[in-house]
Amino acid sequence: MTTWRQLFDDARREVSDTSPIVQVAPNEAVLDVEFDSNSGVSEEPAVPVLVWTEDRIYFPVVYDGLEWLGSAPRNPTTDGQGHVGGQ
């Protein structure tokens, strides 16, 4: 079992985002709801979530029943965006 907060912390570390959280949708309580991120059932994803920090936007990703948070820059950048999901 995991929570979006745990996956959010992992995703932030991956992109070295130390900026503060600006907003969580639908609300911050959703970050602490436990779910199985490795259920193998893509049709039953965890509760929806979006997290905005000063630097990035985090969103749910599901591939082959695995769930995690992907992210994209919050502001325009010349770096582009790599693919999210799959290998």
| pLDDT tens digits, one per residue of 5-44 | 999 999 999 999 999 999 999 999 999 988 888 765 544 5
85 pLDDT more than 90: no
Give how far Cα 19 sits from Cα of 15, 55, 66, 73, 79, Å.
11, 6, 27, 12, 19
For residue 61, with 0-12 CB atoms within 10 Å meaning exposed, 13-18 middle and 19 or more buried, which class applies? middle
Task: Tell me which of 51 and 76 has the higher pLDDT.
Answer: 51
Q: Where are the domains of the chain?
A: 1-45
ω before 26 within 30° of 0 (cis)? yes
